[in-house]
Amino acid sequence: MTYRDAIREAIRKALQADDRVFLMGEDVGRYGGCYAVSKGLLAEFGPERIRDTPLSESAFVGAGIGASLGGMRPIVEIMTCNFSLLALDQIVNNAATFLHMSGGQFNVPVVIRMATGGGRQLAAQHSHSLEGWYAHIPGIKVLAPATLEDAHGMLLTALRDPDPVLIFENALLYNMEGELAADAGPIEIDHARVRRPGRDISVITYGNSLWKALEAAKVLGEKGIEAEVVDLRTLRPLDDRTLVESVSRTHRALIVDEGWRSGGISAEVSARLMEQALYDLDAPVERLCGAEVPMPYAAHMEAAAIPQVATISAAVERVVASHG
């Protein structure tokens, strides 16, 4: 199956298992979802469970928050993370703070899914990676599944969480094919995972950049450089322990992040490694991030603005060579 199939199957399982669960968002019903994730679900579950919404992110995200306060378990789909900015007040000032502002009386068990990332020639209003912004906000969890297992299982786990969970799905992954166990279910979301062991450098990343990092590690292995690849999986809260343990083995780190460098998630990871693993490092932590420009439309410029296999390989070689 594909990544989108894995998400659809998780939504289907959740709808079948719990009458409180419903999906809402732009074009999720008759159209089947902007990325075809919900294709076929309207016919299977009906318009009460698969709800098309007006083109008003603030309105339908607010409705999802209200529904969760009323005892429902909504899955709110926002077409792209750029559009989530229209619902920023609802997410940051309402969903993330309600438990605190109510003195612990009211949880907000809403799950908000959205596409993220560039590489599709959709230009500056549809292509940015803003998950690092949301990772700054207390009161929410921020997930970034890169595999079919995580895309499926993290959603099921998120629906069991009493507090808001945001899931960022890199749009380039929707067509990715793979296998999913027949008995696949909820999975833990608290830990990063080492996707490839290595000894020379830790390449820390998430989302679509994970697959680029793994490909780069394969290329580097042919040159005698063994890169350990760590998948963050969850951006808030970060799993410091796995990151520190990896760096204690390799003594070098490169963080690959499609988002912007200034004030991004790469800066946070770098700071935590400096704070907790300084004496394990044989070199400064390096970062390879998206170019600090609005995402270009032209294919060659867009590719140049995002970390690629070649630029990851070159960065690793530079770090390893320059520090012995």
Q: Provide the pLDDT for residue 121.
A: 84
CA-CA distance, 110 to 162, in Å (whole number)? 8
For tokens 């929410």, name the residue. 140
CA-CA distance, 51 to 35, in Å (whole number)? 16
Instruction: Label residues 64-88 b or e (16+ Cβ within 10 Å = b).
Output: bbebbbeebbbbbbbbbbbbbbebb
Inter-axis angle of helices 148-158 and 3-17, to 10 degrees?
Answer: 30
Q: What's the token pair of residue 271?
A: 């700071």
Q: Provide the pLDDT for residue 188.
A: 95
pLDDT averaged over 10-residue windows placed end to end, the chain, 324 residues:
97 98 97 95 97 96 98 97 96 97 97 94 90 97 98 98 98 96 94 98 98 98 97 98 98 97 96 97 96 94 96 96 72
CA distances from 248 to 113, 216, 244, 268 (A): 34, 21, 6, 18
Architecture of domain 3-173: 3-Layer(aba) Sandwich (3.40)
Considering the candidates 9, 26, 77, 126, report the single residue annotated as catalytic.
Answer: 126
CA-CA distance, 246 to 231, in Å (whole number)? 11
Q: Provide the pLDDT for residue 31.
A: 94
Provide the CATH number for the domain formed by 193-322 in this structure: 3.40.50.920
Considering the candidates 57, 131, 228, 258, report the single residue annotated as catalytic.
Answer: 57
Asked if residue 140 lies in contact with residue 97, where contact means CB atoms within 8 angstroms, the answer is no
Q: Give me the phi and psi of 121, to 5 degrees please.
A: 55, 50
Tell me if 3-173 shares its fold with 193-322: yes
Q: Provide the pLDDT for residue 323.
A: 62
Q: Provide the pLDDT for residue 125.
A: 87
Active site includes 300?
no
**Other CB atoms closer than 10 Å to residue 240's CB: what's the count?**
15
Active site includes 268?
no
Give domain limits for the chain: 3-173, 193-322
Asked if residue 167 lies in contact with residue 114, where contact means CB atoms within 8 angstroms, the answer is yes
